[in-house]
Amino acid sequence: MTESNERFEHATFAGGCFWCMVKPFDEMPGIEKVVSGYTGGHIENPTYEQVKSNTTGHREAVQITFDPNVFPYKKLLKLYWQQIDPTDPGGQFYDRGESYKTAIYYHNEEQKEKAEASKRELEESGRFQKPIVTDIIKASAFYSAEDYHQGYYKKNPFHYNQFHKGSGRKDFIETNWKAKKDEKELRERLTDMQYKVTQENGTEPPFNNEFWNNEKEGIYVDVVSGEPLFSSKDQYDAGCGWPSFTKPIRLAQIEEKEDLGHGMIRTEVRSKEADSHLGHVFPDGPGPKGVRYCINSAALRFIAKEDLDKEGLSEYKQLFD
């Protein structure tokens, strides 16, 4: 093993269909790669057809190669729980049977202790009324799935989105894992403009907002939930009077919806966790994908590069290395 690879560790999670378990982890800071595959069974090099027959003992899983100094295992666990129904003993959503049951496969005793602690924390939180049935199992041989399964959400985005919604996973996550909104608390915490923009789909005045011409290094987070959304490295002056970006930090952190308001056809951008209205995306950007994310300053909070550690967002420092 080379010196550059010694800093990486593996995390292995089963969460039902592995197509849906790649995107949440992919391209996060400190994550080197996410591989779809099979683990826990009694035959070597199984095929997809063999595994889905529920006769091999294998489960569909993802194996994540990550740098724990950038993205700690505890954060991986938190993200994992938010992708699944941990109370389902018979599979996940549309997919039923042994091969689709949930599990955390630990690679060492430290991972085992953290997995067990995170499971207890979820049980004691009262978020679910049913028992938490996700298994915690010692990791064994992991077999990569066929090429067409790898990065499926990128290769086949239309079918992936249909399946993610149609299987019931998307609605379950939105119902059970999205941040709960307290209208009274939000009205007290947010300014009138922040509330109007994020909660009422408003738009602030151009050239008269906080970040339209920001030149400091740092990241922008959702003003409601604190989830990281955009980086100053991807910000540019589009001449429109609002902060403009060539891309979000991760596509998985935002959602795009058709907006037919004001007699126009536009694509609205919302934050995934808090469901805050952020702005719109247009096909006239300078980046490699030719898009411009036009975002309201009032929907954002800026965290300077030097403040990322104290804000608990150390993993995002690598954006500025």
Residues that are catalytic? 17, 294
Q: Are 103 and 14 in contact (CB under 8 A)?
A: yes
DSSP sequence for 83-120: TS-TT-TTEETTEESGGG-EEEEESSHHHHHHHHHHHH
Q: For 221, list phi and psi in degrees, rounded to 5.
A: -115, 160
CA dist 301 and 9 (Å) reads: 32
H helical segments located in the chain:
48-52, 73-81, 109-125, 152-155, 157-166, 169-176, 183-189, 192-200
CA dist 303 and 127 (Å) reads: 30
